[in-house]
A and B are shown apart, each in its own frame.
Chain A
Amino acid sequence: MVAGSPIYGIQPNETNRFDAINGVNSGTLDGIIMTSQTGGCGHNIPGAQVTIFMGSLYRPSEEGQVTGLPFIMLC
């Protein structure tokens, strides 16, 4: 889980964020649930092959910024 707010007790600190990102990049995690805002923070996640959007984002410019991978949009 990568977000800017605590979710189910998971704190949005740098350690948790990097554990999640490194976990996907190294293959120890299957995936990450994340907010689009954290997706635009310059993290490199080449370990992920699919991005699923739970609907379109309100701002097309933001959506364009966070979509750097092969992705599928779920309407």
Chain B
Amino acid sequence: MSNWIAECGRFFDPSKLRAKEWTRYEWEREGREHAVDSGIRTVWIVKESLLKRDRRTTASGESEFWQVFGGRRFPQHVEILSTFADEAHKAWRNPKSERSQVYRHIANHSSFNVLCTGTMWPLGPKADAPGVLQHLGGDLNTAEGKWKDPLRRGFLRLLDPKEDNWDITAFRIMISPFFLRRTISSTWEGRWIIKRTIARPVPQIILPYPDDFTEMDALQKFKRRIGQKNRETLTQKMDRADKQRYYTWSTLYADLVDSGVDEKNDKEVEKFISEKLSQYSPTGRVRRMIAMIKAARKHKMRFLLVSDRLFLIRLAYEVFSLYEVF
């Protein structure tokens, strides 16, 4: 939240525009101040978690956000010039969710809506388009949204799940008036939009130091321990791949599985890693990671160590203190 406010501060003219986190208190205070027009307009930054209708803690049973924006009369008191929603590819996947419904209620009363994402169409345009379009301009099935009728009917025909009308070229042409895509190769008036000096470099793949076991060993080990089912769901496949990956980072993981520690209990896992890690030789991956961090520090470079799995994050944290990387 404060990140957004800080970023707005970099680009807004403070005599004209400011950014604030939305709270009921600030909203009402602003309303009183606005009566004595200061000339400064406010961009309200709303936490996603506030997009709820119900909250048991309030006397009315409604969330504070819904108390302000939920009523049908709110457009008579409040003018929303525009809405900007980040991470649109994730947030609006499920139109039945409460936050989706609250967002659409607000967006329906806004003059101009923008959905932002760095990961456009993660499941493909055909799968993601209905949700994205619905949150952008309202329901395609009714004429109450912002869609003009020929375009609305065109989208409905194109996206009809019962008919095989999908045509990616037609879809691209139809969304082109309101689809703005910026990549590192984008230019504006002959200039790069993203400076060449900060353009994304090519990644370098670093192999681990050799181990006395191979990944195939790890795979076989876990196939025997866990048992690979003939038919696996994607989640089960990912789970099996994760277990193999954890093992290749530290053989401690095999004993963690055997020990009966509940892997979903974060504290138990942390306790196990803290107490046992020193008993295991560091794997090639861990040794390579330590070497890379030390090299970065030697060259006075600061680093980010990233994983999408909490077990590996916890392991790295313990490795740093155990091997005195700093």
Total interface residues on A, CB under 8 Å, equals 52
Q: Which B residues are CB-close (under 8 A) to A75?
A: 205-208
- Residue contact B305 to A61, C-beta cutoff 8 Å: no
Given contacts A31-B304, A64-B119, contact A3 B3 (CB under 8 A): no
CB-nearest residue of chain A to B303: A31
Per-position binary interface string of chain B over residues 36-64, scored 1 when its CB falls under 8 Å from any chain A CB and 0 otherwise? 00000000000000000000000000000
* Pick from B87, B204, B313: contact of A72, CB under 8 Å: B204
In Å, the complex CA distance between A70 and B309 comes to 21
Per-position binary interface string of chain A over residues 42-71, scored 1 when its CB falls under 8 Å from any chain B CB and 0 otherwise? 111101111111110111011011111111
- Residue contact B317 to A74, C-beta cutoff 8 Å: no
- Residue contact A55 to B310, C-beta cutoff 8 Å: no
- Residue contact A74 to B201, C-beta cutoff 8 Å: no
Residue pairs across A and B with Cβ atoms less than 8 A apart, 26 shown, are: A5-B310, A6-B266, A7-B266, A7-B317, A30-B302, A33-B316, A35-B313, A42-B3, A47-B302, A50-B292, A50-B296, A50-B304, A51-B305, A53-B307, A54-B307, A55-B312, A59-B122, A67-B200, A71-B201, A71-B203, A71-B204, A72-B203, A72-B205, A72-B292, A73-B205, A74-B292
Asked if B301 CB lies within 8 Å of chain A CBs, one says yes
* Pick from B266, B289, B304: contact of A39, CB under 8 Å: B304
Total interface residues on B, CB under 8 Å, equals 47
- Residue contact A18 to B317, C-beta cutoff 8 Å: no
- Residue contact A68 to B200, C-beta cutoff 8 Å: yes
B237-257 contacts to A, CB under 8 A, are: 238, 245, 249
- Residue contact A73 to B206, C-beta cutoff 8 Å: yes
Which A residues lie at the B interface, using CB under 8 A? Answer: 1, 3, 5-8, 14, 18, 24, 27, 29-37, 39-45, 47-55, 57-59, 61-62, 64-75
Given contacts A54-B249, A75-B207, contact A49 B301 (CB under 8 A): yes
A21 to chain B, nearest CB (A): 8
CB-nearest residue of chain A to B314: A7
In Å, the complex CA distance between A41 and B87 comes to 8
Given contacts A42-B4, A75-B208, contact A34 B122 (CB under 8 A): no
CB-nearest residue of chain B to A71: B203
- Residue contact B200 to A30, C-beta cutoff 8 Å: no
- Residue contact B314 to A8, C-beta cutoff 8 Å: yes
The tally of CB-CB contacts under 8 A between chains A and B is: 149
Q: Which A residues are CB-close (under 8 A) to B292?
A: 50, 52, 72, 74
A43 to chain B, nearest CB (A): 6
Asked if B285 CB lies within 8 Å of chain A CBs, one says yes
Given contacts A14-B1, A35-B313, A42-B86, contact A49 B200 (CB under 8 A): no
Asked if B306 CB lies within 8 Å of chain A CBs, one says yes
- Residue contact B3 to A31, C-beta cutoff 8 Å: no
Q: Which A residues are CB-close (under 8 A) to B245?
A: 55
Given contacts A29-B302, A31-B296, A65-B119, contact A74 B313 (CB under 8 A): no
Taking A51-B304, A54-B316 as known contacts, 6 extra A-B pairs with beta carbons closer than 8 A to each other, sorted by chain A number, are: A5-B310, A7-B310, A8-B270, A8-B314, A54-B285, A68-B200
Q: Which A residues are CB-close (under 8 A) to B3?
A: 18, 41-44
In Å, the complex CA distance between A74 and B304 comes to 12
Q: Which A residues are CB-close (under 8 A) to B293?
A: 31, 52
Q: Which A residues are CB-close (under 8 A) to B119?
A: 40, 61-62, 64-65
Asked if B280 CB lies within 8 Å of chain A CBs, one says no
- Residue contact B314 to A35, C-beta cutoff 8 Å: no
- Residue contact B296 to A74, C-beta cutoff 8 Å: no
- Residue contact B306 to A34, C-beta cutoff 8 Å: yes
A36 to chain B, nearest CB (A): 4
